[in-house]
Structure 1
Amino acid sequence: MKKALLFLIIFSILFTTGCWDMVEINERIYPYAVGIDVNNAESSEGDSYMVTFSYPNIFSMGENATQEETIYAVLSTGSSLFDAAQNLTSNLQYPIYNKHLKVLVLSDAVARNPKNVLGIIDGLNRDYVINKMIQLVVTPKTAEELIFGKLKAKRQRTTEGVLYSILINRQNTSMFTPKTLANFIDDMDRTGVSTLPMASMVEDYVDIAGAGIFKNYQLIGYIDAKENEGIAMLNNRIRATGIDATYNGTDLSILATNIKTKKKLIDAENLKVEFLVKIEGQVHEFTLPQGNYTGIDTEEMLHDMEEAVENEVKMNIVNTLEILQKEYQADAIYLSDYLEKYHPNVWKQVKDNWDEVFLEAELEVDVEVVIERRGLTK
């Protein structure tokens, strides 16, 4: 019995000698950010894209680093991201491995063509290596310019590090709304409309503010930071944000810490929908007028402040809705999704010509602001 067990152990060792296809970490290139531009070269020969790969130099890391350059960036052409990576095999010493890809940047020229966007998104979604939680970004200029941009900050010398850090941390801002590959595909499946954060180089700094509006996988235009805030409020996608208003000729700043929006169908026949926005927050900054030494000491004064903020928020949301309806005819507020889930009978009547119905829909906004705290001083 003991001899048989010993033989079995020795025999099993033959099958535990390691992975035959194992590749060492320093024998692969791990892109951190990829940018896709249109290839305008006359001799492109079917290579539709100019792709920028940016990846860390692992030989510059650690105590015994042998090289100083921390980041490399290379350009390649191809009919797809994967084809461009394959075409680099003769120029790089190691193969490209996209397992740790964090950010994908689409240029304006690429994103304006729905065939381009659909092909790129489909390829990313089908690939079994690429993480479906990579962040998507659109830039009004070229992706190459954005990725090659250098920053003044010594700790973050390249834009892909800054891009990813800002996108995942969000900095408690409503100036942009991060969007992953999975989120973007879900938006397209649900409503056919989505937004991607807009990033650009401003002098030596990366600026992420506003968004690109996509409809049926095509970039149709841009919105600024305030308009993005309006969409984010209606979609309940703000954790906290500052709201500026004017009260009695003085600047008033509110830190909104709790924002909730509900949709309510008022008139099914004429498609009249009300957005109920409730905001809770605290006074962030307010300079008392000269001669006022009592501070924010009355409920009437507090109520007037709340009303001033309500008017400011309502004006911004109404303006945003008008842009979505009249300029872009893009349902970025998930109204069709709301009707399909909670009013299916109404949705059946309007789904076949939703663009026209959305354009003429009557959208009302009701904002309620509650200031819970006045700060350390009245």
Structure 2
Amino acid sequence: MKLRLIVVYISLLILSGCWNSRELNEIGIAVGLGIDKTEDDQVLLTVQLVNPAEISTKQSGGSRAPIVTYQEKGDSLFEALRRMTKTVPRKTYFPHLRMLVIGEKAAEEGIATSLDLMERDQEFRPDFYVVIAKDHDAQDILDLLVPVEKITAQNLFTKLETSSKVWAPTAALKFGDLLDQFTSQGKHPVISGVQIIGDEKAGKQMENLQSVDPSTRLQYNDLAVFEGDRLKGWLDESQSKGYNYIISDVTSTIVNIPCKEEKDSISIEILNTNSKMTSKMMNGQPHMEVNVKATGNVGEVECPINLQTSETIERLEKQTEKDIEMQINHAITVAKEDFQLDIFGFGDEIHRAHPAYWKRIKSKWDETFVDMPINVKVEVNIRQSGRRSNPFINNLKE
């Protein structure tokens, strides 16, 4: 028992070592990193550091911002980072990095070379999230002061994790997974976009952090489609949902089924989905089938309906299946017609199932993908109707 206690105490000392007051006075903890491109094609690097005194509840006086950002330019990310030592008072420490934000202009020009340092340097862990600043530069996003979470990068991190779990159109993509997608010949990368909602200038003031109704917020909106390492365009909310259904990345979401009167609806809460791609060769050409199975509950009812009959439940299941199938087919159509890019990983499935064919076709896979027949099948199972099988709206007096 004593030996166990000693091991625990030693472990606590080792694990907590980087958080003692002496080390906090020597390092600047980076939680957010932004990459932009200047007009003269230099890298503009933005680093968001934590202000420890304002994060600590004991020391915080509320008069200073909880974060501080520094910026520097360079011909490479590495050079900009080293140049930043001229203005940053402490050595920048990256193992606790939460978010990498890439400006839309930089994404359009290509981001692979800017990411090499983070993949090569051991101080960067591969578990931080990557997002694209839609209609903005990365520095605009990281300069904002946003409520609830004192640290802007932590606000983005928590919001993305939560949204990806309960609202299908977002995608929580970590840096390590992004690198895998960059090197895959059978799938182009897709990354969540973040936008500034409201007055950008007001969002940089302390009043925005302290306001009950902040004038400026950050919102995840749409998915960015890449060809290689260059941004090609955006999927809207419905298309993003269809994309995530195909790649089996929908943990939970809501499907609204219209009632007889179009203004009212029945909300089906999707609780779990599983997607499977299968391919087969017909007359020397690939055919793909996407099978999606989902389970859900009746979440909200806005019109009179009898949920106690199997016929009603079956009808809701069919309508839910139709809605999901429509979103999936919409995403496929956009990928084929607007981008001519396989963003779903169908090429990876062909590679696994038909390696000899893939060897011949991989150099022109996107062209093949555009003409490839894709059949979508959706099966929905509604398990429960909530605490009330008979909605109280059925008994409302006229």
Question: What's the TM-score, normalizing by structure 2?
Answer: 0.81
Q: Which amino acid aligns with 1:126?
A: R
Kindly state the Cα deviation for residue 236 of structure 1 after the two structures are TM-superposed: 1.0
One of 224, 233, 242 as aligned partner of 2:245: 233
CA distance in 2, matches of 1:64, 1:142: 33
- 8 Å CA contact 1:247–1:308 kept in 2: the answer is no
- 8 Å CA contact 1:265–1:272 kept in 2: the answer is yes
CA distance in 2, matches of 1:236, 1:98: 31
CA distance in 1, matches of 2:38, 2:302: 54
CA-to-partner distance for each residue in 1:296-331, whole Å, 9 max, x for gaps?
122112111111111111111111000111111221
For 1:353, the equivalent position in structure 2 comes to 364
For 1:129, the equivalent position in structure 2 comes to 123
CA-to-partner distance for each residue in 1:167-195, whole Å, 9 max, x for gaps?
23335221211111110111122235111
For 2:49, the equivalent position in structure 1 comes to 55
- 8 Å CA contact 2:266–2:303 kept in 1: the answer is no
CA distance in 2, matches of 1:24, 1:279: 49
One of 197, 219, 225 as aligned partner of 1:202: 197
Kindly state the Cα deviation for residue 33 of structure 1 after the two structures are TM-superposed: 0.5
CA distance in 2, matches of 1:335, 1:192: 7
Q: Counterpart of 1:272 in 2: which secondary structure?
A: strand
One of 187, 193, 196 as aligned partner of 2:188: 193
For 1:99, the equivalent position in structure 2 comes to 95
Question: What's the TM-score, normalizing by structure 1?
Answer: 0.85
Q: Which amino acid aligns with 1:52?
A: T
CA distance in 2, matches of 1:200, 1:177: 15
CA distance in 2, matches of 1:69, 1:234: 42
CA distance in 1, matches of 2:280, 2:316: 29
One of 128, 131, 144 as aligned partner of 1:149: 144
- 8 Å CA contact 1:192–1:216 kept in 2: the answer is no
Q: Counterpart of 2:117 in 1: which secondary structure?
A: helix
For 2:156, the equivalent position in structure 1 comes to 163
For 1:265, the equivalent position in structure 2 comes to 279
For 2:213, the equivalent position in structure 1 comes to none
Larger Rg over CA atoms: 1
- After superposition, the CA RMSD in angstroms is 2.0
Kindly state the Cα deviation for residue 64 of structure 1 after the two structures are TM-superposed: 4.2
For 1:88, the equivalent position in structure 2 comes to 84
- Structure 2 gaps, min length 5: 1-21, 199-215, 390-398
- Structure 1 segments, 4+ long, off by >4 Å, are 64-67
CA distance in 2, matches of 1:377, 1:64: 50
- 8 Å CA contact 2:169–2:222 kept in 1: the answer is yes
- 8 Å CA contact 2:259–2:303 kept in 1: the answer is no
One of 318, 331, 350 as aligned partner of 1:307: 318
One of 148, 172, 175 as aligned partner of 1:178: 172
- 8 Å CA contact 2:187–2:347 kept in 1: the answer is no
For 2:395, the equivalent position in structure 1 comes to none
Q: 1:324 to 1:287 in 2, by over 3 A?
A: same
Kindly state the Cα deviation for residue 353 of structure 1 after the two structures are TM-superposed: 1.7
CA distance in 2, matches of 1:197, 1:85: 25
Kindly state the Cα deviation for residue 34 of structure 1 after the two structures are TM-superposed: 1.2
Q: Which amino acid aligns with 2:243?
A: I
Kindly state the Cα deviation for residue 247 of structure 1 after the two structures are TM-superposed: 4.1
One of 219, 224, 240 as aligned partner of 1:212: 224
1:77 paired with 2:111, answer no
Q: Which amino acid aligns with 2:244?
A: A
Say how many residue pairs are matched: 343
For 1:8, the equivalent position in structure 2 comes to none
- 8 Å CA contact 2:274–2:294 kept in 1: the answer is yes
Q: Which amino acid aligns with 1:240?
A: S
CA distance in 2, matches of 1:343, 1:95: 51
For 1:284, the equivalent position in structure 2 comes to 299
CA distance in 1, matches of 2:328, 2:144: 34
Kindly state the Cα deviation for residue 267 of structure 1 after the two structures are TM-superposed: 4.3
Q: Which amino acid aligns with 1:194?
A: P
- 8 Å CA contact 1:147–1:158 kept in 2: the answer is no
- 8 Å CA contact 1:230–1:320 kept in 2: the answer is yes
